[in-house]
Amino acid sequence: MTEEDKAVQVLQGRVKWFDPAKGFGFIVSDTSNADILLHANVLRNFGQSSVADGAGITVRIQTTPRGVQAVEVLGIEPPEGQIVPLGEVAGEISADELKSLPLEPARVKWFDKAKGFGFANVFGRAEDIFIHIEVLRISGFADLVSGEAVALRVIEGRRGRMAVQVLSWERATTTPPGEED
C-alpha cells in the first residue's frame, strides 16, 4: 500500500451546504471535526451537478495542505424524513408502488430553481415531464442544469406526466432495479 492509498479514507456525513454557482460546498461528519470540501468536479464525476443541503453522502477523502477534501463521491442519500409531495394523487400510490415504477432515461429541458419547477424529456417520447423542486430536493438534488442526463420515475397526473423521483444517470445505470434507496 502506497502513502497515497493510506491517506485516502471513506467517510459518511451530511452535506452542510453546496452552491452550484460557486462550484463547491462542504460536508460535515460525526467522525471529523473539520468541514470537508466538496468540489463541483468531484460531484459531477458521480453524475450530479448539485446536491441538496442535508443529504447523506459517502465520499473518499484526502487530507491536503489546504485541508480535508472529498476526492470521490461513492453515494448520496436524500435528506431524511422527506415524503414525495404528490398532491393530486396523494394516497393513491404506496411507497412500494413508487419503487416499482421503471426508471426512464431523460434529459433536462430546463429547470428554474426560483420558479420551483422545470421539465425533462424522456428519450424517444415527445411530451414533457414535469419536475417539482420538492421532488428534486427529496431525491437529493439542489438544482438541475439544461441538458443534464437523469433517470426519472414518472406517474400520469391530471395535467400530464410528472416525476416522483430523480436519480443521477450514473446511479441509475449502476444500481440494480428496486435497490436505488
CA–CA gap between residue 87 and residue 99 (Å, rounded) = 18
**pLDDT, tens digit (0-9, with 9 covering 90-100), for 12-33:** 999 999 988 899 999 998 787 7
Degrees, nearest 5: CA angle 30-34-38: 95
3-77: CATH topology? OB fold (Dihydrolipoamide Acetyltransferase, E2P) (2.40.50)
CA–CA gap between residue 138 and residue 166 (Å, rounded) = 9
CATH superfamily, with its number, for domain 87-174: Nucleic acid-binding proteins (2.40.50.140)
pLDDT for residue 119: 96
Nearest to 54, CA basis, from 145, 174, 141, 168: 141
**What does pTM read for this prediction?**
0.64
> Which set of grid coordinates corresponds to residue 115?
420558479
Across all residues in the chain, what is the average pLDDT?
Answer: 82
**pLDDT, tens digit (0-9, with 9 covering 90-100), for 60-117:** 999 888 889 999 999 888 776 554 555 554 445 666 777 788 999 999 999 998 899 9
Nearest to 109, CA basis, from 157, 159, 41, 163: 163
Domain ranges of the chain: 3-77, 87-174
Only one residue has cell 409531495, namely 85
> Would the CATH topology of 3-77 be identical to that of 87-174?
yes
